[in-house]
């Protein structure tokens, strides 16, 4: 073999080897970078899809609640009102002894009609625009107090800023969910909602003196998961602090 042939034999593997190693390194690096980017895109799409699904679910729920509210107001409320009129008429025609019983029933019926109206108002999300978030929360907490579940203290609700209607409805439903959780699981005698405002952030602090739970071991129930997802949808942060026999505190921070 001549000198040039030997040189080629020496050079070709070196050049080819360097090329191959370079290609392998570039390929692997490119794959890893591309994969991470795709993972982020996929995650974003998945999140968008999840949020769209949740939004649809919430819209359907709002529609259903609105229908129930209308039914309560238009049907049950009307029937109860008719019964009230009939009882009023009957009470005039019967003997004095029986009148007391009818009057008692009338009082109960008045309470029922009031509760139906109050429940109907709280179920209908559209009422938020009519009455405002603060009034609606007050209406709900008044009802809870009257029903004897627990005492509710509201502080600084007037610090709540003006919010978009869709955010208001989320906050309102979240407050209902939280109070509902207190009724179902906390066994509390006192509950509270305080609003704190700091710079551009507004914090809603829900508290109760109930039995609490261990946040480190207990898996979050569907109610609390719902809250977290709703917070994510409106760009709010949620913090849940609780300990067994030491009550629960839920902070929702609006950014």
Contacts to another protein by CB under 8 A = 6, 8-10, 12-13, 16-17, 20, 24, 28, 31-32, 34-36, 38-39, 42-43, 46
Rounded to a whole number of angstroms, the minimum distance from the CB of residue 59 to another protein is 27
Torsion of CA 24, 28, 29, 34, to 10 degrees: 140
Rg (CA), the chain: 31
- Is the distance from CB of 144 to CB of 225 less than 8 angstroms? no
Nearest residue (CB) to another protein, 24 versus 94? 24
Residues 6+ apart with CB under 8 A from 220: 228, 240
Nearest residue (CB) to another protein, 44 versus 131? 44
Rounded to a whole number of angstroms, the minimum distance from the CB of residue 139 to another protein is 43
Rounded to a whole number of angstroms, the minimum distance from the CB of residue 21 to another protein is 9
Nearest residue (CB) to another protein, 38 versus 101? 38
Nearest residue (CB) to another protein, 6 versus 153? 6
Rounded to a whole number of angstroms, the minimum distance from the CB of residue 8 to another protein is 8
- Is the distance from CB of 137 to CB of 191 less than 8 angstroms? no
Pairing of strands 151-155, 236-242: unpaired
Rounded to a whole number of angstroms, the minimum distance from the CB of residue 17 to another protein is 7
Nearest residue (CB) to another protein, 34 versus 94? 34
C-alpha closest to that of 137 among 204, 70, 231: 204
Report the C-alpha gap between 179 and 177 in whole angstroms.
Answer: 6
């Amino acid at each position: 073999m001549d000198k040039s042939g030997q040189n080629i034999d020496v050079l070709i593997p070196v050049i080819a080897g360097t090329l191959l190693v370079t290609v392998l390194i570039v390929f692997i690096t490119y794959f890893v970078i591309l994969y991470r980017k795709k993972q982020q895109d996929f995650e974003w799409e998945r999140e968008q899809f999840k949020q769209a699904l949740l939004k649809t679910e919430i819209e359907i729920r709002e529609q259903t609640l609105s229908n129930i509210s209308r039914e309560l107001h238009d049907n049950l409320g009307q029937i109860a009102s008719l019964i009230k009129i009939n009882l009023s008429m009957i009470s005039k025609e019967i003997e004095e002894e029986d009148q007391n019983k009818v009057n008692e029933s009338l009082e109960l019926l008045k309470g029922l009609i009031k509760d139906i109206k109050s429940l109907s108002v709280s179920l209908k999300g559209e009422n938020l625009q009519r009455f405002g978030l603060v009034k609606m929360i007050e209406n709900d907490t008044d009802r809870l107090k009257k029903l004897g579940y627990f005492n509710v203290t509201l502080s600084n609700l007037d610090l709540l800023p003006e919010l978009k209607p869709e955010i208001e409805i989320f906050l309102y439903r979240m407050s209902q969910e939280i109070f509902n959780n207190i009724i179902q699981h906390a066994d509390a005698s006192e509950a509270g909602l305080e609003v704190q405002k700091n710079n551009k952030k507004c914090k809603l602090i829900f508290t109760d003196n109930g039995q609490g739970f261990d946040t480190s071991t207990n898996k979050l129930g569907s109610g609390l998961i719902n809250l977290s997802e709703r917070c994510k949808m409106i760009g709010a942060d949620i913090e849940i602090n609780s300990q067994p026999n030491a009550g629960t505190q839920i902070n929702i921070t609006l950014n």
